[in-house]
Amino acid sequence: MRVLCVVMLLLGTSSLIWAQNEPCLASADSPGCGIKITMNPPLKTEEKILFVPNEITVEVPLRLHAMKVQLSSKAGEAEAAEQFKPLLETTHYKKADGVERFQLQLQNCPAADSTFQVVISSLKFPYPFPADLGTLACKQSGAK
């Protein structure tokens, strides 16, 4: 019984130490987290315009063991209490250079101005964690 208690105490202590050292718990947007989001065609940051169709690539470090990546949105000027609504999700990824590479294909704009969020689900975290892309104007590629 004592051995079991010591083992449980050691496991609890080691998980607390790991959690304090994991930068993604503070924010998925922090540089130490290592999550990288790229778009093709690229996002025009100075104008905050997202052209669709668009291929969104999310690279998650292998240490996070991501199971699913989801793209969610809500109307840009919506109330803060309004929930993000899922647009796309995928569980398929390719391992490359120490990351899990997820790809999402955004074909249509959900609204003219939307706030986008990439949500990552992992076995190592008790809850999914978001990486905000911010409020972007969404335009079809043909309507430049």
- What's the confidence (pLDDT) of residue 144? 47
- How confident is the prediction for the chain on average, in pLDDT? 80
Rounded distance between C-alpha atoms, residue 143 and residue 63, angstroms: 41
The upper half-sphere exposure of residue 109, i.e. CA atoms within 13 Å in the direction of its Cβ, equals: 20
- Residue 16 φ then ψ, to 5°: -65, -40
- What's the confidence (pLDDT) of residue 16? 47
Burial readout 61-96 (b: 16 or more C-beta within 10 A, e: otherwise) = eeebebeebbbbbbebebeeeeebeebeeeeebeee
Could you read off the pLDDT of 76-97 as tens digits, one per residue? Answer: 665 665 688 899 999 999 999 9
Rounded distance between C-alpha atoms, residue 87 and residue 72, angstroms: 5
More confidently predicted of 111 and 38 = 38
H/E element holding 101? strand 99-106
Q: Which candidate, 54, 78, 70, places its Cα nearest to that of 135?
A: 78
Domain ranges in the chain are 28-140
In contact, 76 and 111? CB cutoff 8 Å: yes
Assign domain 28-140 one CATH number from 2.60.40, 3.40.720, 3.90.930, 2.40.300: 2.60.40
Could you read off the pLDDT of 12-59 as tens digits, one per residue? Answer: 665 544 445 565 765 555 665 788 999 998 887 677 888 889 999 999
Rounded distance between C-alpha atoms, residue 41 and residue 139, angstroms: 12
pTM of the model: 0.76
